[in-house]
Amino acid sequence: MVRYHIVTLGCAKNVADSERIGRVLGAGAHHEVAAPDAADVIIVNTCGFIDAAKEESVDTIVELAAGKRAGQRLVVAGCLTALHGAELRADVPEIDAVFGAEDWAGIGAWAQTIEPLRLDAQRYDVPETSAAARPSAYLKISDGCNAPCTFCIIPKMKGRLHSAPAGDIIAEARRLAAAGVREIVLVAQDSTDYGRDLGQIDGLPALLEQLSAAVPGVPWLRVMYAYPGHVTPRLAETMARLPNVVPYIDVPLQHAAESVLRRMKRPANTRMVREMIDTLRAAMPGIAVRTTFIVGYPGETEDEFRELLAFVREMAFDRVGCFTFSPQSESPAAHAPDQVAERVKRRRQRRLMEVAQQVSTIRNRALLGREIDVLVESAGPERTGGAEISIGRSYRDAPEVDGLVLLRGAFPPGAFVRARVTETLAYDVVAEPVDVEAAVSRRG
Ligand code: SF4
């Protein structure tokens, strides 16, 4: 039995991968500890999505390598290893093993060969709360991607789409439900392409139907990372019909000017995007639509950027994220002509987020006086002006990326509280409890 500690970098998909590594190690009777210092094995689950993320992963590895104790093992796993595993091993000799993305079994088998360190009693650490004990959990349904976006190296790192069999996903959802999880967030590089490699058409709606029936006690199932061309009327109709699929979708659009989308090798059809959003809003009138954009893509002109701004205003997205284009050396876009100056990118990012914030403020204001269901994530008391506040989310907020509900009173994590919105901010809202654990209405 070895004590392991996992450092997770990157996005929600990596969080899901780390949980998977934890389960494989747990099945081998290994035991998670909260601090690297107390671990026999430190695992860094890296991210390689953009150069800044790669840098953060490398810095973390180097820092942990420098603090490594005699006999301790340092393992590197995840996205970065696909393209840079050998390089990392050569540059950081303290690394004991490198495992490619998704090589859970390899890590598990390797861990069985490790002799635990002899630690004195004071250094022994308490196990971390199981990931599944949190109210919300990520469930990765597929990995890899078939799209050719010029700024992205995911297909190079993770390969083409490969979907998990529905039976495995359902077993995992049942395990999470049994552990008390109240929200399951489905993640993938492109969740809406689920099942295509298994010969399915509209695989995601079919999977949602099975999941909804398999875990009726999980009030919220949420879909992240949809791809514009893959959101079908059947998906909208299925989401609207299933009682525990929240009316929320995250569709990264990346840009709105068709000329930029063409250069990005993304679907360059804003009419189709408008129709898709209309279909979703018609099927689920309260749906919260989240999207993300990239500004400062090579060659982006002021006119193209203005087109994007106008689109953000017109579409009134509930949630918007905006990144500046970050060239990844292995991607075609990094070598495209007319790279945009950093200060221009940052200025455009600021301008876009100002518009997004105005829209979000208006949409939030419409909630004033309305009742919503709040999933409590952290219990009070957090004293704000003497009042106890619990932090939670409504169906409109995905974990980690969207707004929060500041709920008056102290409630335990995992509780659903029916609450009335009494104040609205740009992204967050303040709410007063009306009823605890009332029948959860996903319409909020
Ligand atoms: S759809 Fe997403 S993951 Fe796939 S290539 Fe494009 S940006 Fe990368």
Same domain, 337 and 426: no
Q: What is the DSSP secondary structure assignment for residue 209, as one 8-state letter?
A: H
431 is in which domain, residue-wise? 371-436
Q: How many domains does the chain have?
A: 3
Residue 444 domain flag: no
Distance 48 CA to ligand 1 centre (A): 13
Distance 289 CA to ligand 1 centre (A): 19
Q: If phi over 0 gives left and psi between -120 and 50 gives alpha, with beta otherwise, what is residue 349?
A: alpha
Same domain, 187 and 335: yes
Domain boundary among 333, 365, 397: 365
Same domain, 318 and 414: no
Same domain, 215 and 70: no
Domain boundary among 365, 390, 413: 365
In degrees to the nearest 10, what's the CA dihedral of 31, 37, 43, 47? 130
296: how many CB neighbours lie within 10 A of its CB? 22
Nearest protein CA to atom 2 of ligand 1, as residue = 189
Same domain, 89 and 116: yes
Q: Does residue 390 line the site of ligand 1, with CB under 6 A? A: no
Same domain, 68 and 209: no
Distance (Å, whole) CA 265 – CA 314: 24
148: how many CB neighbours lie within 10 A of its CB? 11
Instruction: Please tell me the pTM assigned to this model.
Output: 0.81
Distance 147 CA to ligand 1 centre (A): 6
Same domain, 250 and 354: yes
Nearest protein CA to atom 3 of ligand 1, as residue = 189
Give me the tens of pLDDT residue by residue for the chain, a chain 444 residues long: 788 888 888 887 888 888 888 878 877 778 787 778 778 888 988 887 777 788 888 888 888 888 887 788 889 888 888 788 888 888 888 888 888 877 877 888 888 887 776 544 333 343 333 444 579 999 999 999 999 999 999 999 889 999 999 999 999 999 999 999 999 999 999 999 999 999 999 999 999 999 999 999 999 999 999 999 999 999 999 999 999 999 999 999 999 999 999 999 999 999 999 999 999 999 999 999 999 999 999 999 999 999 999 999 999 999 999 999 999 888 999 999 999 999 999 999 999 999 999 999 999 999 999 999 999 998 765 545 567 889 999 999 999 999 999 999 989 899 999 999 999 999 999 999 998 765 454 444
CATH no. for residue 430? 2.40.50.140
Domain boundary among 344, 365, 386: 365
